[in-house]
A and B are shown apart, each in its own frame.
Chain A
Amino acid sequence: MKPRPKISGTLLALGWAVAVAVAPGCGRSTGTKTAEPGAAPAQRLTIGVSLMNLSNEFIVMLHQAMLARAGELGVALIVTDAQRSAERQVQQVESFIAQRVDAIILNPCEVEASAPAVDKALAAGIPIVNVNSETRTPPTAFIGSRDEESARLAMEYIVQRLGGRGNIVMMHGFMGQAAQIKRDRGAREVLARHPDIKLLADQTAEWDRAKAMSLMENWIQAYGEKLEAVFAHNDEMGMGAVIALEQARLKPKVIVASVDAIADALQAVQDGRLDATVFQDAKGQGGGAVEAAVRLARQETCAKEVFIPFQLVTRTNAGQFLQTVSRP
């Protein structure tokens, strides 16, 4: 009986390795916008985009803003989803470099672990723009908002509503992510300035609404009447807290503030269920990132850092934001 040749097995393995290496680059090309009919082919720029996680509503809004702006400017986007993995993000950027794109837009997963992507792009001479979050290596340009500011806005609002004294609990996002670290820092700055505001407890609910609900229910059991305010790092968790408090009939007594201004939260603010949210301008960030990338690709001047301000949303101004945020 002849032995099966070993060569085919090795070839198969090699071919598979090649496919895997190329795949992330091809990945979820969820939006390859073609150029306007009038644009000359030589002028059409290609920009590679690596987004942190397309299962996150804010990132989805960022994505749509980018597509819209790219359509207006007549550039092509290759969009990939890193699905929260910094490693995958680095691979995606490497494929962009191999494809010789004109510029890269990076929505980083992590401050440290996504930095190699920036290093590689800079080494290859391709301009790279960070949007929304930072990496340790400074990119060619940064478009985003200062997360500390968002936390500060929300916390200041709570302090003001409580009249300078009271008990508060804080819900964190995924520990270690840039947004969580920054918002925690911002919140603690405000706490330091107001010693009569006491932080009873803080825990992570991992950006998740259901986890936040359970956590809130348990806090209600633990602290009962002592609870006066809740600050959540994002709206999903804020909504979870609101629902739990409503069921325990502790609303509207307990004040809840969170960050993001997703559609659900804006509606809740207008209805008086959620006390405040902080608007993060996805359109401004997404559109701004595309603009910056295009300018850099055309070797025009571009500001190194653009900080788009957050805006506090309360019942008074919720209506105008509702109109700007598109509903599904």
Chain B
Amino acid sequence: MGVLESADVVLEVANLGKSFPGVRALDGVFFRLRRGEVHAVVGENGAGKSTFMRLLAGLETPDDGEIRFRGRPVRLRHPHAARQLGVAMIHQELMPFLDLTVAENILMGRERTRGPFGWVDRAAQRREAQRLLRQLDVPVSPDCRMRELGVAEMQAVEIARAIGCRAEVMIMDEPTSALSERETRALFRVMGDLRRQGGAIIYISHRLEEVFELADTVTVLRDGRHVVTGPVTAFSRQSLIESMVGPPKSRIAEPKSRIAGVFGGHDRAANARPAEDAAALVVRGLSRAGAFADVSFAVHRGEIVGLTGLVGAGRTELAQALFGMVEAEAGEVRVQGVAVRLRSPRQAIDHGIALLTEDRKHDGLVLTLPVMHNLTLCGLDRCSRGGWINGRREEAVADALIADFGVRIAHREQSTGTLSGGNQQKVALGKALLPDPDIVILDEPTRGIDVGAKAEIYGLIRRLAQSGKAILLISSELPEVLALSDRILVMRQGRLSAALDPRRATPAEILHWAMPE
């Protein structure tokens, strides 16, 4: 048994660990992949699946542990090294060369050339590309420019490229998320061919029915750790989900008690929505093509509504529409009972809406400015008269915010880029709240933050609710959503699929409503 096993093993991982600033993304992971096997890797958002795949594809280097390829330990310092060993990856986020043709993309790095100077043989390229595209039953011409294709077509081309690489190990990260039924069938056929030829496939997906259809083996990751590995026949949908989220009771209790201990208990009963209060924010039938459709809900004063779902469900787009960063195409938004059109962030701020963006480095903070300037950026008119900034007033406002939000810095003139993730997030939060909004939208408020800072931010969120603000909390972390929310809304593929009561809902139930059917 042992000899046969080891001869068959193409890729093996032992005690793999990886840390990012403030968070341990992977810890002590074991994994084994055999020839001709389709091995599915499942887990919630943030379980470590993507990090794991990036380590295998050479995009990151591990901090601990070892990767063995055909029994030999390897160091994958960059993607090229992985590619040369025969590992090909299809990313979840596509990165095609938009201005080159389909054929050029498919054969990037392995062009068909003639002669000593590397003259590209266009005809041969086209033939090869055509062959691969036909295999996948994709109706795309190899001479098209990538820019002209839709997302699904781009993904199909990406798959054709990876297949053409004839890799021994193929890593597919959510390959069917944008594919139609027909293209998905074609993909499965190709995967079957690959498997028969001895290739091994690692398949990440949230679509559990695909996992059950395709995979031989399934590995579950949770919180960066390896939970269980076994033949797919040994699981049911229910048991698989439960492995992903963990045993029901301990998860809800743990974070809540920790937070409650530090900042005082959160009396949920008292905050149960009083029927007679008018809602601060009412959304009806809000739609935006390609992002979300027919979203309706309400948030009341002092209430925390948790909005959760998988990546790509449309939550961030919804938040941006509610803040005027993009415009909704249909539907209505009412703030304090008054219908409003939100065409710019300025208008949203004037109507009393604040947004803590998903990626503070991208569009939340101006990292080149000192902390004080970031804090006052949304409300400089309070610190100035007739366009002239009152330096002392600004300092006072900044100091108050720094104290209120517990930002730990040496000096308020410090450059914001030098702060830790947790402190930056507090600055972003303080900045958003300076205009004293009535409605606060928080998009992944604890992403990329260490545990200590997380607890502090939870406390801040609770305090905001207690002071009467209406809060929409968007988060992918189920324990966080369950601990903080008064009501939970689940978003799935652009629509609201469920409204749940956090006192009774389980993580498994939430995940069930979040996953595509």
Check A-B contact in the complex, CB < 8 A: yes
**With A and B bound together, what is the CA distance between A1 and B153 in angstroms?**
10
The contact string, 1 if C-beta is below 8 Å from chain B, for chain A 1-33, is 111100000000000000000000000000000
* B143 adjacent to chain A (CB < 8 Å): yes
* B383 adjacent to chain A (CB < 8 Å): no
**Closest-CB distance, B414 to chain A (whole angstroms):** 44
Q: Which of B141, B143, B145, B149 has the most CB of A within 10 A?
A: B143
* B121 adjacent to chain A (CB < 8 Å): no
Q: Which residue of B lies closest to A5 (CB)?
A: B143
What residues of chain A lie closer than 8 Å to B145, measured between beta carbons? 3-4
**With A and B bound together, what is the CA distance between A23 and B144 in angstroms?**
35
**With A and B bound together, what is the CA distance between A79 and B280 in angstroms?**
75
**With A and B bound together, what is the CA distance between A2 and B102 in angstroms?**
12
**With A and B bound together, what is the CA distance between A4 and B145 in angstroms?**
8
The contact string, 1 if C-beta is below 8 Å from chain A, for chain B 28-68, is 00000000000000000000000000000000000000000
**With A and B bound together, what is the CA distance between A3 and B139 in angstroms?**
12
What residues of chain A lie closer than 8 Å to B143, measured between beta carbons? 3
What residues of chain A lie closer than 8 Å to B101, measured between beta carbons? 3
What residues of chain B lie closer than 8 Å to A2, measured between beta carbons? 141, 144
Q: Which residue of B lies closest to A2 (CB)?
A: B141
* B254 adjacent to chain A (CB < 8 Å): no
Q: Which residue of B lies closest to A1 (CB)?
A: B144
**Closest-CB distance, B149 to chain A (whole angstroms):** 7
The contact string, 1 if C-beta is below 8 Å from chain A, for chain B 136-150, is 000111011100110
**Closest-CB distance, A306 to chain B (whole angstroms):** 58
**Closest-CB distance, B363 to chain A (whole angstroms):** 33
A-facing residues in B130-165 (Cβ within 8 Å): 139-141, 143-145, 148-149, 153
**With A and B bound together, what is the CA distance between A4 and B141 in angstroms?**
11
Q: Which residue of B lies closest to A4 (CB)?
A: B145
**With A and B bound together, what is the CA distance between A3 and B149 in angstroms?**
11
Q: Which residue of A lies closest to B141 (CB)?
A: A3
**With A and B bound together, what is the CA distance between A2 and B140 in angstroms?**
8
What residues of chain A lie closer than 8 Å to B153, measured between beta carbons? 1
What residues of chain B lie closer than 8 Å to A1, measured between beta carbons? 139-141, 144, 148-149, 153
**Closest-CB distance, A55 to chain B (whole angstroms):** 40
**Closest-CB distance, A29 to chain B (whole angstroms):** 40
**With A and B bound together, what is the CA distance between A3 and B103 in angstroms?**
12
**With A and B bound together, what is the CA distance between A212 and B220 in angstroms?**
79
B-facing residues in A186-225 (Cβ within 8 Å): none
What residues of chain A lie closer than 8 Å to B144, measured between beta carbons? 1-3
**Closest-CB distance, A111 to chain B (whole angstroms):** 42
**Closest-CB distance, B446 to chain A (whole angstroms):** 43
**With A and B bound together, what is the CA distance between A2 and B141 in angstroms?**
7
**With A and B bound together, what is the CA distance between A2 and B143 in angstroms?**
8
What residues of chain A lie closer than 8 Å to B140, measured between beta carbons? 1
**With A and B bound together, what is the CA distance between A3 and B145 in angstroms?**
7
**With A and B bound together, what is the CA distance between A2 and B144 in angstroms?**
7
What are the 4 closest A-B residue pairs judged by CB atoms, nearest first? A3-B143, A1-B144, A3-B144, A3-B141
Known pairs A1-B141, A1-B148, A4-B145; list 12 more (Cβ under 8 Å): A1-B139, A1-B140, A1-B144, A1-B149, A1-B153, A2-B141, A2-B144, A3-B101, A3-B141, A3-B143, A3-B144, A3-B145
A-binding residues in B (CB < 8 A)? 101, 139-141, 143-145, 148-149, 153
B-binding residues in A (CB < 8 A)? 1-4
- Can you show 15 pairs from A to B with CB atoms below 8 A apart? A1-B139, A1-B140, A1-B141, A1-B144, A1-B148, A1-B149, A1-B153, A2-B141, A2-B144, A3-B101, A3-B141, A3-B143, A3-B144, A3-B145, A4-B145
